[in-house]
């Protein structure tokens, strides 16, 4: 039986990590399940993250001489260990784009009947989800606020137990820029749009886009999706989705731009499960914490076979190059600079300056032994050989 890598139990780090699950049971999973190249790539990246395989540097304390090896991260967006650095950089870049208004938080959820089709057509269906939600919000901004709104949308594909649950989180400044750009039109402080009306329009737009994708042969129907490959099966699914009540959920509005930043920092670059939620990895099983749907804040515990844990984790691997965080309306990249400048002018504020990291500055940490010196990089460590198969 292989053993977990030594760094899994290091001070200040989670006792167990997703990488441990892959180290212990990944080879067996790969042997018994045919996996696409993207899944193999994600598994291997997480396995070698911050190990000798990626190389790194040797650090030495400038006071007591203590030395340690620091290895490079894999920087894979599905890796639980690599999210924090990317999040910090990204959030810093968003500060200059925060308008001094209240922000609303809406969640657009896709019915679970679509899950098999989505898992077989991730890129096409995710794009439909983004398009349907963004067009719905743009329409409501035009008809209800009489202007152009802006918003950020974040795709999440999981629930707390790692099962497939596809939804968009949308962060929306409370107001709109008039179409002639002459004024800022504020929204009410505690209300943006009727969620029931949003749900109806969102459903119609999504289903129209979905039916159009099928008409143009842009969908595949393998595995569990085969049941809707025939005209009768498709019509049955389409009819049931059209009759079903779809969900657009409005969360409590953010009280200030600062709370939006706090949300962005802990939410937008989240992966399916953080290492801190893993409670135990042993005897072919993985135990982890999850938050139930009840109003109480108590944590529940779930134990899965390692095989099932890996299967659920890999459900959430995104297509290569797919952007899961997107900006729309006033915040769309093409016109963002001009439109945001006008919004700040109308709101009579100056945007926060974007802080660029000092050039050629190497971050240092305090020595964990003497607690007075600084750890300085003194030598490069070359990557060790690793099998990429």
Helices (H), 62-162: 83-94, 115-120, 122-144
The per-residue pLDDT for 269 is: 77
Give the confidence band of 14 by pLDDT, cuts at 50, 70, 90.
Answer: confident
Name the percent of the chain lying above pLDDT 70: 89
If asked whether residues 208 and 253 sit together in one domain, one would say: yes
Q: What angle do CA 79, 80, 83 make, to 5 degrees?
A: 85
Is 6 a residue whose pLDDT tops 50? Answer: no
- Any idea what DSSP says for residue 382? P
If asked whether residues 131 and 249 sit together in one domain, one would say: yes
Assess if residue 327 is contained within a domain. Answer: yes
Assess if residue 282 is contained within a domain. Answer: no
Give the confidence band of 356 by pLDDT, cuts at 50, 70, 90.
Answer: low
The per-residue pLDDT for 361 is: 46
Reported pTM: 0.89
Helices (H), the chain: 18-32, 37-48, 83-94, 115-120, 122-144, 195-215, 231-243, 257-267, 306-314, 336-346
Question: Token pair for residue 350?
Answer: 């100056």
If asked whether residues 60 and 113 sit together in one domain, one would say: no
- Residue numbers of the domain that contains 67: 6-79+375-381
Q: Are 117 and 228 in contact (CB under 8 A)?
A: yes
118, 120, 122, 126: CA torsion to nearest 10: -30
- Any idea what DSSP says for residue 33? S
If asked whether residues 189 and 265 sit together in one domain, one would say: yes
pLDDT in tens, 304-350: 999 999 999 999 999 999 999 999 999 998 888 899 999 999 999 88
Q: Edge-to-edge strands of the sheet including 374-381?
A: 67-71, 56-61, 374-381, 365-366
Query: How far apart, in whole angstroms, are the C-alpha atoms of residue 19 and residue 6?
Result: 12
The end-to-end CA distance of the chain, in Å, is 21
If asked whether residues 59 and 180 sit together in one domain, one would say: no
Give the confidence band of 8 by pLDDT, cuts at 50, 70, 90.
Answer: very low
Assess if residue 66 is contained within a domain. Answer: yes
If asked whether residues 52 and 194 sit together in one domain, one would say: no
If asked whether residues 158 and 268 sit together in one domain, one would say: yes
Give the confidence band of 2 by pLDDT, cuts at 50, 70, 90.
Answer: very low
Assess if residue 221 is contained within a domain. Answer: yes
If asked whether residues 53 and 142 sit together in one domain, one would say: no
Assess if residue 188 is contained within a domain. Answer: yes
Query: How far apart, in whole angstroms, are the C-alpha atoms of residue 113 and residue 253?
Result: 30
Other beta carbons less than 10 A from residue 143's beta carbon: 9
Assess if residue 354 is contained within a domain. Answer: no
Total domain count, the chain: 2
Is 12 a residue whose pLDDT tops 80? Answer: no
Is 291 a residue whose pLDDT tops 80? Answer: yes
Question: Token pair for residue 129?
Answer: 């989800």
Query: How far apart, in whole angstroms, are the C-alpha atoms of residue 164 and residue 278?
Result: 19
Q: Are 16 and 280 in contact (CB under 8 A)?
A: yes
Three-class secondary structure of residue 305 per DSSP: strand
Q: What angle do CA 121, 126, 128 make, to 5 degrees?
A: 100
pLDDT in tens, 187-213: 998 899 999 999 999 999 999 999 999
If asked whether residues 34 and 131 sit together in one domain, one would say: no
For 171-207, give the DSSP string: EEESEEEETTSS-EEEPBTTB-S-HHHHHHHHHHHHH
Question: Token pair for residue 176?
Answer: 């709109």
């Amino acid at each position: 039986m292989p053993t977990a890598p030594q760094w899994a139990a290091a001070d200040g780090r989670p006792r167990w990590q997703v990488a441990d699950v892959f180290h212990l049971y990944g080879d067996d999973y790969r042997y018994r399940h045919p996996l696409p190249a993207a899944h193999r790539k994600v598994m291997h990246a997480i396995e070698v993250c911050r190990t000798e395989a990626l190389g790194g540097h040797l650090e030495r304390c400038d006071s007591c001489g203590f030395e340690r090896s620091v290895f490079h991260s894999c920087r894979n967006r599905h890796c639980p260990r690599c999210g924090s650095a990317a999040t910090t950089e990204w959030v810093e870049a968003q500060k200059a784009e925060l308008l001094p208004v209240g922000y609303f938080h809406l969640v657009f959820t896709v019915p679970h009947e679509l899950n098999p089709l989505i898992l077989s057509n991730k890129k096409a269906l995710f794009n439909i989800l983004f398009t349907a939600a963004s067009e719905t919000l743009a329409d409501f901004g035009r008809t209800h606020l009489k202007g152009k709104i802006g918003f950020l949308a974040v795709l999440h594909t999981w629930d707390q137990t790692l099962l497939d649950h596809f939804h968009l989180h949308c962060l929306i400044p409370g107001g709109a820029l008039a179409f002639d750009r002459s004024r800022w039109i504020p929204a009410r402080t505690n209300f943006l749009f009727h969620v029931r009306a949003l749900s109806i329009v969102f459903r119609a737009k999504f289903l129209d886009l979905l039916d159009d994708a099928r008409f143009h042969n842009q969908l595949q129907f393998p595995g569990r999706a085969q049941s809707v490959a025939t005209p009768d099966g498709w019509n049955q699914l389409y009819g049931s989705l059209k009759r079903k009540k779809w969900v657009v959920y409005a969360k409590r509005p953010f009280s200030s731009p600062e709370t939006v930043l706090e949300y962005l920092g802990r939410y937008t670059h989240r992966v399916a499960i953080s290492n801190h939620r893993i409670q135990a990895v042993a005897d072919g099983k993985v135990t982890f914490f999850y938050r139930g749907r009840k109003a109480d804040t108590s944590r529940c515990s779930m134990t899965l076979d390692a095989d099932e844990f890996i299967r659920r984790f890999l459900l959430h691997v995104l297509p290569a190059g797919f952007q899961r965080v997107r900006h729309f309306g006033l915040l769309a990249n093409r016109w963002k600079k001009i439109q945001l400048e006008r919004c700040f002018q109308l709101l009579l504020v100056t945007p926060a300056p974007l802080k660029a990291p000092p050039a050629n500055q190497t971050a240092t940490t305090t020595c964990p032994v003497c607690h007075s010196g600084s750890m300085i990089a003194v030598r490069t460590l070359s990557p060790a050989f690793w099998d990429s198969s």
